[in-house]
Amino acid sequence: MAIPKVIGTETEYGISAVGAPDFNPVLSSSLLISTYAGALRRIRWDYEQESPLRDARGFEPVQVREPAEEDLGLANVILPNGARYYVDHAHPEYSTPECASPRQLVVHDKAGERVLERSLIELHHVLPPGQRIAIYKNNSDGKGNSYGTHENFLVDRGTPFGNIVRDLTPFLVSRQIYTGAGKLGAEAPWDDRDRHRYQLSQRADFFEAEVGLETTLKRPIINTRDEPHADPDKYRRLHVIIGDANMSEVATYLKLGTTAIVLKMIEDEYLPDLTMANPVAALHEVSRDLSCTAQLRLADGRRLKAVEIQWEYLERARKYVEQEDDTPDNRDVLQRWENVLSALESDPLSLQRELDWVAKYRLLESYRERDGLAWSDPKLRLIDLQYHDIRTDKGLYYRMAATGKVDRLVSDQEIEQAVMEPPDDTRAYFRGRCIARYPDAIAAASWDSMIFDTGKEALQRIPMREPLRGTREHVAGLLDRAPDAASLVDLLQA
């Protein structure tokens, strides 16, 4: 039986500046985070047990320790909601706390946008006059550089990795039809038809391999990083790097919800073989096909549209959920999945309320018609970018949401609560509550441990290798009985 799918996302945000000729994105990102985090900056991230080069295919190269963020003076903090907020390369990155359902993930993903917006407000209070920083939840700078939105899923270590590669690849290639964030232009080798062409996905252009460990060069459809952040004998953390950064709550919900169900079916060997003849070429073809009618060749000679491949997964998922995993959450994912596929089959451009790529395309078309713009007009590139602005009073997505033009799944009240409160039903509850209650006694933290300085001779590490332990049900009573960190550690070790 498949294990529960604990999920999370890591979003690298685009950052740019106006009125700052010497703009440094690394230092600006660090200042952005530090200004927001305040005193929490003293709690360092614990890298001791991290192994980003360990490969799921069974090897690990010798690692020479590179300077960590704190060595370089860059910000890296853990927030009271259990999230990690830090500088990754030249970007501010927000990693949600571990979530136990796709809806909960939507709430915490949106909370990340609010954290970035508030960081921006705080930063503008200290910037020199005339300087402004802008933050975008997108995946490309338009100059050939892409930054990631990574998904993470807890999977069973006993599932052969080859099965994941075989059964997940066609799904990831074809799911772009509802997960794509939309993009004007191309940043892979193109001909003149692609230069100003609208496509479904911002990330597809940057993928060149089927399977591999890289995340910044020769990006693969299936990433093989084997860094579980949990009990390595029981679990694998599947690191999915191919997804777009979604503004739409429905798109985010479907992206995580459908993938979680597919991974359960892979663990329970519930899927047919839909291996593609050339997955990388198919990935690019799907992204450039607004009609969603391109025929993709499978290894067995069949030709199927991306929508038809998704129907194959959905039909199996219906039977699987009914027989093996019948929950309200899963039933809701299936219903929304079916509704979107039906609309994509009949009229893809009818989904402007649900899907980012359609909403943005409709927006660009409205400006084109109003102002008589060609697709090559640079004004349209600015509109594309402004769709992803995280400021609720400036971003075009948020303007559409404010006027009821896009569908919402979660409330503003839930999002506000998630800015400070961790999920109740994963280990993020313990991490977040400890950060809030005992910040001065926490020396370091990571996804799977907390390190306390209780005044004893040695620091006290509390392991958290089970993502579904450390919940409110498990530890709220202990926390209530512990006025300080020393008392908590004593209770945990009793």
Write down the catalytic residue from 46, 55, 71, 88: 88
Residue type, 377: D
Residue type, 395: G
Reduced to 3 states (helix: H, G, I; strand: E, B; else coil), residue 82 is coil
DSSP string, 305-359: EHHHHHHHHHHHHHHHHHHH---HHHHHHHHHHHHHHHHHHH-GGG-TTT-HHHH
The two tokens of residue 178 are 């509802």
For Cα atoms 61, 224, 312, give the angle at the middle one, nearest 5 degrees: 165
Give the long-range contacts of residues 187-196, CB within 8 A, separation 24 or more. 187/140, 187/142, 187/143, 187/144, 187/146, 188/284, 194/288, 195/376, 196/374, 196/375, 196/376
- Cα dihedral across residues 257, 473, 409, 199: positive or negative: negative
Cα atoms in the Cβ-side hemisphere of radius 13 Å centred on 169: 28
Alpha helices in 356-422 (DSSP H): 356-371, 378-386, 396-402, 412-420
Judge whether 334 and 321 are in contact, CB under 8 Å.
Answer: yes
Question: CA-to-CA distance for 41 and 468, rounded, in angstroms?
Answer: 27
Reduced to 3 states (helix: H, G, I; strand: E, B; else coil), residue 81 is coil
Residues in contact with 21: Cβ distance below 8 Å, sequence separation at least 6, in sequence order: none
Active site (annotated) includes residue 332: no
Of 49, 111, 104, which Cα lies nearest the Cα of 80? 111
Question: CA-to-CA distance for 297 and 392, rounded, in angstroms?
Answer: 43
Judge whether 4 and 154 are in contact, CB under 8 Å.
Answer: yes
How many angstroms separate the Cα of 195 from the Cα of each of 183, 380, 458? 11, 13, 60
Parallel/antiparallel/unpaired status of strands 442-446 and 44-45:
parallel
Locus of tokens 């060997």: 269
Describe the crossing of helices 102-124 and 25-37 by its angle, rounded to 10 degrees: 100
Query: Which residues are annotated as catalytic?
Result: 88
